[in-house]
Structure 1
Amino acid sequence: MRRSLMLTRLTLMLFTAAAPVSALASSYDQSPFGINGLKLAHARHDPNVWANASVKAKAMKDAGIYWDRLEIWWHVVEPEQGKFDWSYYDKVARFYREHGINGMVILCYSSAWSNGCPPTDDAERKRYANYVYQTVCRYKDTFKVWEIWNEPNIPTFWRVPDVKGYTLLLKEAYKAAKRADPECTVLAACTSGPGNDFIAGIYENGGRGYFDAISIHPYSMAGGPVSQRLDRIYRILKEIIRSKNGGKTVPLWVTEIGWTTQDPALEKAQACYLVQSYVISLSNNVEKIFWFCLDDWGEKWGLVRNFEPFDPKPSYHAYRLLTQYLGSPGVAASFEGYLKMPAGVAAYVFKKPNGERVLIIWTMEHITRRIRVAQRGEIRAEDIFGNRVEVCNGVLSVGSVPLIISGNGLKNIGAVSPAFNPYIEAPGQNLLNNGTLNVIHGASPAWWNPGRFDGTAGDGRFETVAEGRRGTMCVSIAESGERAAWDSTPIPVRAGRRYRLVGWLRTRNATGNNQLGLFWYTGDMWHYLREDRSETLVGTNDWTKISITATAPQNAAFVRVNLIGEKNRGQVWFDDLTLVEE
């Protein structure tokens, strides 16, 4: 989340060391539906802050959203060491109580006297712990969930990311929070991206036992949740946690996730992505999911364009429909399992506390299929935009727009099991999106970029042409400089596992480096670790099969496939790429 990184001051208060406290029974509303909504820390100088917040709070509750993520800034509540000023946040707490909204609080950021630096020495960590203790003590009857910092794995929020330093801070903060309120819940990590390496580092630096849940921000750089492989991201992360936590998992919260609508044509896609991201998250036992964000704040991430007059996007209506079917506030329908479907169809079964079932279904590709649901009574179907869908003897058409199916006819729909997860990869399955390069979006293959995502490697002539091995689409690079490559969107990988990349290259008067590459990145999706390259092809060659096998580095969470054509005075073509986990 973008936020002001202003400074604060504080006095040192000594604490009696407390041992790690085990997580207690949840003391808060169990609805999984949340949002980064009111943003009251940023509005404290707005003369209309409370009137505006009331309008937003109503919009949230009308959509069935009763959880909000907020910040209590250290520098605001303690502008001088030892001198606390609670005047604004007392009003904030009262607002949440009066409007019946649950708050999940980020305890952030740097102190007023630290020149924008996070707490990196023992004295400053104790000062931060004092701020945590004082804040939790004061507001424990209003707020029960506390998140320690925000995205400490990127320089935006922790000047020089340091997992050891963050873990030391986490331990002090946890002890302070539990001393103030033993029943509170403390969230750790709060990573940009899934943060696999950072979360592993918390365990490796002694953080086990100093948090009740882990929070992450699994934003996508690969389109929607399906092409992003959100389900795979969760599965890999949980494997890491179990490996570091004695074979046990811990509760997982998603405290930011979202998609922008800079292009208005993407508004319906945003609604689909919202429903898919919540459903995939709930099926992976994510406890709470906070959408980013309510309104178009800064960039067009919001569910709402404007509040005066009220102008919601399709995603707002989709969120409301989801909460109406699954239930909020209170205990929502629980994920029961997947209904077995033909390949390419994902069908999620939820069961309400009263035993009623809800089926949410979509195709995993942009195609429409006719499917059959075993019907033993009445069933009704509508898409997430509220359009009724015809069901005839259990047969209906389903596409990439999620459908919600309900009715007493779902009581006996056949076998339902978590084992039917359609996203679990078969051995030898291609992990690449659009490895054939035949799906075209604009002037390029979907999920491929001419030049790397960071703005480099664009020095050449990039073309998408129907000159592939079978007369289908392929890509080429010609007349290139020092750095030129087609770059795939990121693919989630398991550190330490071997991956094999195979592709076909054709060249004409080629010079320089014409090859395949595996570029490895950490869990923040930005930090480059290493690259592995295949042999190069020069001269003039018909279609030639090229491959490379490499082991994902220790801290790798993602890989990007690169189709490289560097310092090439001629031309190279690429086609039919496959990436397999061995």
Structure 2
Amino acid sequence: MGQCRPRSLSTAIVGWCALCFSILSAVASLPDGSFPSSFGTNIHFTQPRQYEMEQLASTGLKWVRMDFSWASIETAKGVYDFTSYDVLVGALLDHNMSAIFILDYMNPLYDGGLSPYTEEGRRAFSSWAANATLHFAGKGIVWEVYNEPNINVFWHPSPNATNYALLAKAASAAIKEATPSEIVVAPATSCIDFDYLDAIFSPPLSLLDSLDGVSVHPYRDTPPETAMGDWQQLRALVEKYAKGRHIPLLSSEWGYSSLYPGWDRETQAKVAVRMFLVNAASNVSLSIWYDWQNDGTDYLNLEHHFGLVFNPYLGEEGRALMPKPSFHAVQTAMAVLDGYRFVERVDAGDDDAYVFHLQASPSSGRTGMLAVWTPNESRIPLKTTFKLPLSSPKCVGVTSMFGDALPALCPDSSMVVTFPLDNGVVFLGPF
């Protein structure tokens, strides 16, 4: 398990249903982990520029995750103004994209501006949340209750598992009463905080009874592959308290800065694609990369370099944002793997060799694709021998992580090939 490395966000900042209840009614489905319908990125705007939306959609990503700010929507008690989010939702639908909206944070009208901790504060938050889902019902939105409540950057004055769980249960109950088919997920913890998760999932809080999915932020200072064991551990924890229900897992925020020590922009591009593949292999329903755009221009500030594109904006309407290598790598992965879903990890006889077999739907006429790489930089190039999942020998196409066509790979009569692995993903197929 990798060391948790949370981002340091110093600058971030209908009717009430009195009884919380278990979610038993049918709801819209979360994605199934296939490409590109299960992948997206965080954004920080509600008034999208047309050229930016076109460029964002061109990545092939189908989701954005965005703060849905309580304080900016309810500036007078019981009065809600969703206008700015109407614009964003309309733009997303125009570009065949969907939203995860984070129901957050505090509101100075209630509980002294602290995170909701009284019955009045929870009632107000829940009423606002229910009115929001009623306003946007049927738009394909996933509603996430709060963001990283396990750290004091976001839960004020300090994290309190009981107060958070009571808030999330109340909000979910109000949402389900108003709009039974809307999807509610939580708790969006900073890293995979197992102690905190156990506290809110176990009796008497039993938060899982009120959720359609469990979201976490698996930040770490180690490669994405180290999360695979953490996902297994999280699934076991959820199953322990799920009472027989299948509850999907979501990676609703996770990224790497291109300014991490010893890294550069190309390293970030490599781990972005690997992160998506690791999540797909771990049966994660929905994966969100942090961040769409660099948060600033300070070359020495790690926080300013998580984006797929640079900051600042380059000009007036019609000017594109300058893409980073990670933009092109993600764009390539979404295009090459369009319609594919993880099937299995092929045995290559080496724990450092990652050979993922992905398969498309039978109606596509394509049987499969391999994504191959190694995270072990000390062994590059890692000469690896494995069997292609073919019924008869034939040469297969090879595509780099940036979309370049490489020489075809031809197996022997037993469908076995030898291929040198790099720490950037290479795609073999389709076949």
For the aligned pair, the TM-score class normalised by the smaller chain equals 0.7 to 0.9
Corresponding position: 1:218 with 2:206: no
**Residues 379 and 405, structure 1, Cα contact 8 Å, conserved in 2:** yes
**Residues 119 and 125, structure 1, Cα contact 8 Å, conserved in 2:** yes
CA distance in 2, matches of 1:17, 1:32: 33
* CA gap 1:71/1:103 in 2 versus in 1, 3 angstroms: same
Counterpart amino acid of residue 192 in structure 1: S
Question: Aligned residues, how many?
Answer: 386
Greater C-alpha radius of gyration? 1
Counterpart amino acid of residue 356 in structure 2: Y
Question: Can you give the 5+ residue segments of structure 1 that lack an aligned partner in the other structure?
Answer: 7-11, 42-48, 409-582
Who is 2:400 aligned against? 383
User: What value does the CA root-mean-square deviation take over the aligned residues?
Assistant: 2.3
Q: 1:121 aligns with which of 118, 130, 155?
A: 118
CA distance in 2, matches of 1:359, 1:187: 32
Q: 2:426 aligns with which of 389, 403, 410?
A: 403
Pairing of 1:360-379 with structure 2 (within 5 A): 360-366=371-377, 367=379, 368-374=381-387, 376-379=393-396
CA distance in 1, matches of 2:31, 2:348: 34
CA distance in 2, matches of 1:291, 1:242: 26
Counterpart amino acid of residue 113 in structure 2: G
Who is 1:304 aligned against? 309
Q: 2:28 aligns with which of 26, 29, 32?
A: 26
Counterpart amino acid of residue 401 in structure 2: I
Corresponding position: 1:35 with 2:48: no
Corresponding position: 1:110 with 2:106: yes
Pairing of 1:280-295 with structure 2 (within 5 A): 280-295=278-293
Helix, strand or coil at the partner of 2:209: coil
**Residues 27 and 184, structure 1, Cα contact 8 Å, conserved in 2:** no
Counterpart amino acid of residue 23 in structure 2: V
Q: 1:359 aligns with which of 370, 386, 392?
A: 370
* CA gap 1:231/1:148 in 2 versus in 1, 3 angstroms: same
* CA gap 1:266/1:179 in 2 versus in 1, 3 angstroms: same
Helix, strand or coil at the partner of 2:189: strand
Who is 2:326 aligned against? 315
**Residues 215 and 253, structure 1, Cα contact 8 Å, conserved in 2:** yes
**Residues 213 and 251, structure 1, Cα contact 8 Å, conserved in 2:** yes
CA distance in 2, matches of 1:254, 1:216: 5
Counterpart amino acid of residue 326 in structure 2: S
Counterpart amino acid of residue 26 in structure 2: L
Offset at 1:112?
Answer: 2.5
Counterpart amino acid of residue 348 in structure 1: F
| CA deviation string 1:297-349 (max 9, x = no partner) | 1411001114525321111111111111221xxxx422111111021211111
Counterpart amino acid of residue 111 in structure 1: N
Counterpart amino acid of residue 398 in structure 1: L
Offset at 1:29?
Answer: 6.3
Offset at 1:57?
Answer: 1.4
Offset at 1:122?
Answer: 1.2
Corresponding position: 1:244 with 2:249: no
**Residues 15 and 178, structure 2, Cα contact 8 Å, conserved in 1:** no
Pairing of 1:326-337 with structure 2 (within 5 A): 326-327=337-338, 332-337=339-344
CA distance in 2, matches of 1:212, 1:150: 16
Pairing of 1:31-430 with structure 2 (within 5 A): 31-37=37-43, 39-41=44-46, 49-50=47-48, 52=49, 54-113=50-109, 114-159=111-156, 160-204=158-202, 205-222=205-222, 224-226=223-225, 229-246=226-243, 249-262=246-259, 266-298=264-296, 299-306=304-311, 307-308=313-314, 309-327=320-338, 332-343=339-350, 344-353=352-361, 354=364, 355-366=366-377, 367=379, 368-374=381-387, 376-390=393-407, 391-393=409-411, 394-408=417-431
| CA deviation string 1:164-191 (max 9, x = no partner) | 1111111111111111211111001100
Question: Can you give the 5+ residue segments of structure 2 that lack an aligned partner in the other structure?
Answer: 1-6, 297-303, 315-319, 412-416
Who is 2:4 aligned against? none
| CA deviation string 1:356-398 (max 9, x = no partner) | 2111111241221223344521211122133444424333221
Counterpart amino acid of residue 385 in structure 2: R
* CA gap 1:247/1:67 in 2 versus in 1, 3 angstroms: same
**Residues 23 and 212, structure 1, Cα contact 8 Å, conserved in 2:** no
Who is 1:15 aligned against? 17
Q: TM-score with structure 1 length normalisation? A: 0.62
* CA gap 1:58/1:221 in 2 versus in 1, 3 angstroms: same
Helix, strand or coil at the partner of 1:262: coil
**Residues 66 and 102, structure 2, Cα contact 8 Å, conserved in 1:** yes
Offset at 1:32?
Answer: 0.8
Larger helix fraction of residues: 2
State, as a whole percentage, how many aligned pairs show the same letter. Answer: 22
CA distance in 2, matches of 1:3, 1:176: 31
CA distance in 1, matches of 2:344, 2:30: 26
Displacement over 6 Å in runs of 4+: 3-6
Who is 2:299 aligned against? none
Q: TM-score with structure 2 length normalisation? A: 0.83
**Residues 16 and 174, structure 2, Cα contact 8 Å, conserved in 1:** no
**Residues 192 and 216, structure 1, Cα contact 8 Å, conserved in 2:** yes
Helix, strand or coil at the partner of 2:113: coil
CA distance in 2, matches of 1:399, 1:196: 33
* CA gap 1:396/1:208 in 2 versus in 1, 3 angstroms: closer
* CA gap 1:279/1:125 in 2 versus in 1, 3 angstroms: same
**Residues 32 and 289, structure 1, Cα contact 8 Å, conserved in 2:** yes
| CA deviation string 1:424-450 (max 9, x = no partner) | xxxxxxxxxxxxxxxxxxxxxxxxxxx
Helix, strand or coil at the partner of 1:401: coil
Larger strand fraction of residues: 1
Pairing of 1:495-514 with structure 2 (within 5 A): none
